[in-house]
A and B are shown apart, each in its own frame.
Chain A
């Protein structure tokens, strides 16, 4: 069965720390991997990754995909209290049967202390 596993489940750090969140997947017919940030509202899109080894960056956030290891990491440098959120990873697959599905992990809850 297709699955996406995120680790750690939760993390508490202090402002200024660097964090690495992990996402591993067992999914057939992989198309893309997506990262989202969710505060007390809808998930907001961070990155979409399709190719191995190419880092995507946005300010203090960056992410990279390793298709050999079936995993991705999301790095946040110089964390701020505003980074406190649940970070979700999802994988999109398209099966030969014609089934299309986004499979979500349960998320990593990050709390950044001032």
Chain B
């Protein structure tokens, strides 16, 4: 049972580059989300999805795109990386009913130089 798998674990980008952070879950969860966590700021929601083909914005969506073509996968795309996007990114998933809690991936530490 893999749970929520995030790749890569670490990434360094140059300003202006684009990349995709991968998130996959094998629990058949409808709800998937992406957060960023910066020192002293707590977890801030970037985007979330309640099912395949349905996505919505969170608190800090600018500079990020998402899509949900399957139940299992919810990739996060950085369109043109900026130093302000240096952060730790977490993917999380749950059943839409919230039963059995909310499971986090191990995180991706991204540095934009």
Contact = CB atoms under 8 A, between A and B. Distances in A.
B107 interface: yes
B106 interface: yes
A30 B103 CA distance: 19
Given A104-B43, A105-B42, A92 B106 contact: no
B101 interface: yes
Contacts, number: 51
B75 interface: no
A94 B94 CA distance: 13
A106 interface: yes
| Consensus secondary structure, chain A interface | strand
Given A100-B31, A104-B42, A105-B42, A45 B50 contact: no
Interface in B55-113: 56, 90, 92, 94, 96-98, 100-107
A114 B8 CA distance: 36
Contact of B102 (A34, A94, A105, A107): A34
